[in-house]
Chain A
Amino acid sequence: MNASSDMSFFTLIAGASLPVQLVMLILVITSLFSWWYIFIKVATIKRAERDAESFEETFWTGGDLTKLYEGVTAGRRKPQGMASIFEAGFKEYIRHKQQARMEVSDVMEGSRRAMRAAYNREMDDLDAHLPFLASVGSVSPYIGLFGTVWGIMNAFRGLSNVAQATLTQVAPGIAEALVATAIGLFAAIPAVIAYNRFASSVDRLSVRYESFMEEFTNILQRKS
């Protein structure tokens, strides 16, 4: 630890003690995963919003519900988002309608339950990975801080062996240790921002789905 030591980024990481290196590794992996999930969520939420938009447009332009149902189920792909709620509700409605003795209120109740179940599945998919992002956002600064504290402890322990303490004896150790905090913050900040943004997007989608459920129930009630 002399003053002429090379302070490049890689030597800082290579010179750190094993626990600090482990902390850095964990944080880098966490950061990679959180960014991966962030990009996946951006894509899926954008697609869900686009799907809801286009489905609402076709639904409210009128037309035959049976035709719409056939169009939704015709595709090879399983219907997603609002379409899947519509599909579940309308399928249940038709099934109850075919049993002639059913009361209207029971039919409505059945289709409503089916729609609620589909809605829950949709919400579960939309909410996926958000807890992971929240955990990364709140915990990774602490992991980084742990690495920093460990590194600084080592730096100061080395200082106790010399008679004349100078800053150059601790500075490299502290710089190494602070790299851990930097990586932790780098992992945490995007995760927190992404979590907040995705949570609000999912909330807005869920409100949209719920209002669609109510309105569709009304339409089915009028039909029967």
Chain B
Amino acid sequence: MMLRQRETPDSVKAGMLSVMVHVLLLGALLISFNWKTTHPVSIAQVELWDSIPVAQPAPAPIPEPVPEPIPEPVQKVEPQPVPEPEIKPEPQLEIALEKKPVKKQPPKPDVKAEEARKKLVAEMRQEDLKNAPKETPKPNSDAIKKLQEELLNEDKAVGEQKATAAKSAASAGVVDEFKAKIQAKIRGNVNKTLCGDGNPELKVEIGLIPTGQLSGAPKLVKSSGNSACDDAVERAIRISEPLPLPSDPALFSEFRNLRLTFRPND
């Protein structure tokens, strides 16, 4: 063969060694390399965005109550003490001054306390009538009553509204506002000429991620019956990226799956 005579005794051993070297190298390659690639596509599909709204509700409730309580007491408590001295005639200033502390000491009275105060007010009114019979007592007492009632109502309202109205007003208002913004932005991009003459209506479901991008293809829930019109709306949704979203991350859950109704010719 290709071997010299003197090399034949070594040939078998050398051949075995040669095969062994290759097997060793192959083994080293298989062990040291991570041949299984982790494909990035699946990484993009991980529900990363899900965890953010869940993690953030803790800080989220803080901003909500903050804007509400501040304006309410400022608006409603202050204006009333101001008109009082203006409306009241001069002779009754003393009485008015006396009554005010009485009213304000029990700011959140029970029903009994209310009745007691009404009695007290009535007594005072009679005294007033006696003390100053010829001047205009009735409008004064009416005004005082109204003020009292208003104050009471406010006390109650402040307590109740703080809890419920704050949240509903803030979130519902903002969510509706941004839903309208999204719809308006998409509407602006729809090619209306493709939707014919009638008034077609179609419903589309879109998924959003917190950046305002679409998380997937828009899903047609209810077709308008005109496929060109459907396509026009879908294109408009894609063009409109990124869609406007509220800056508050807690509200994003409202936008993850949006169902929008379009009437392009409306």
Contact = CB atoms under 8 A, between A and B. Distances in A.
Contacts of B39: 3-4, 168
Nearest to B35: A8
A201 interface: no
B40 to A, nearest CB: 7
A3 B40 contact: yes
A39 B10 contact: yes
Interface in B17-44: 17-19, 21-22, 25, 29-30, 33, 35-37, 39-42
A9 interface: yes
Interface stretch (A16-24, A30-38, A89-97): A30-38
B112 interface: no
A7 B36 CA distance: 6
A12 B37 CA distance: 12
B134 interface: no
Given A9-B35, A32-B19, A35-B22, A40 B7 contact: yes
A36 B21 CA distance: 10
A29 B245 CA distance: 64
Contacts of A168: 39
Chain B interface helix/strand/loop/mixed: helix
B130 interface: no
A186 B26 CA distance: 11
A40 B11 contact: yes
A114 B166 CA distance: 116
A125 B6 contact: yes
Interface residues of B, number: 26
B185 to A, nearest CB: 27
Contacts of B3: 40
Interface string A169-213: 000000000000000001000000000000000000000000000
A14 interface: no
B14 A40 contact: yes
A128 interface: yes
B18 A39 contact: yes
Nearest to B39: A3
Chain A interface helix/strand/loop/mixed: helix
A128 B10 CA distance: 14
A168 B30 CA distance: 22
A36 B18 contact: yes
A100 interface: no
Contacts of A40: 3, 7, 10-11, 14
A31 B29 CA distance: 16
A31 B22 contact: yes
B35 to A, nearest CB: 4
A103 interface: no
Nearest to B29: A9
A135 interface: no
A77 B11 CA distance: 18
Interface of A: 3-4, 6-9, 12, 28, 31-33, 35-40, 43-44, 80, 125, 128-129, 168, 186
Given A35-B21, A39-B14, A43-B7, 6 more contacts: A8-B35, A8-B36, A36-B11, A39-B18, A44-B10, A128-B4
Q: Pick the 8 closest A-B CB pairs, nearest first.
A: A39-B14, A35-B18, A43-B10, A3-B39, A36-B18, A8-B35, A40-B14, A7-B37
Interface of B: 2-4, 6-7, 10-11, 13-15, 17-19, 21-22, 25, 29-30, 33, 35-37, 39-42
5 contacts: A7-B35, A7-B36, A38-B14, A40-B10, A168-B39
